[in-house]
Amino acid sequence: MESDGIEEWMMVEMQGTVENSGRPLSDEVLGSLSWRRDDNEALLLVGHHLLEGKVGPCLLLNITLYLS
């Protein structure tokens, strides 16, 4: 939670395919996510691959819970 009392969330959007030799990816660590605040870059290290992306604003307008 930020100092102004507002929760801060993060969303990562990726495009492409992740293959894991036919094994399920649940409970697996995909990689290490970090970012450079000064450059507004997101960095995801997956094995020996470094993926770079942009950090951008995202606004959550409403939370709706669906209970079955």
**Residue 46: domain span:** 1-68
Q: Assess whether pLDDT exceeds 80 at residue 9.
A: no
* Separation between Cα atoms, residue 13 and residue 67, nearest integer Å: 26
CA angle 37, 44, 9 (to 5 degrees): 60
pLDDT tens-place string over residues 25-66: 788 888 999 888 777 788 999 889 999 988 777 777 877 877
User: What's the structural domain count of the chain?
Assistant: 1
pLDDT score of 1: 58
Three-state SS at 39: coil
Higher pLDDT, 68 or 48: 48
Phi, psi of 56 (to 5 degrees): -140, 165
* Separation between Cα atoms, residue 22 and residue 39, nearest integer Å: 37
Nearest to 12 by CA among 59, 45, 44: 44
pLDDT score of 45: 94
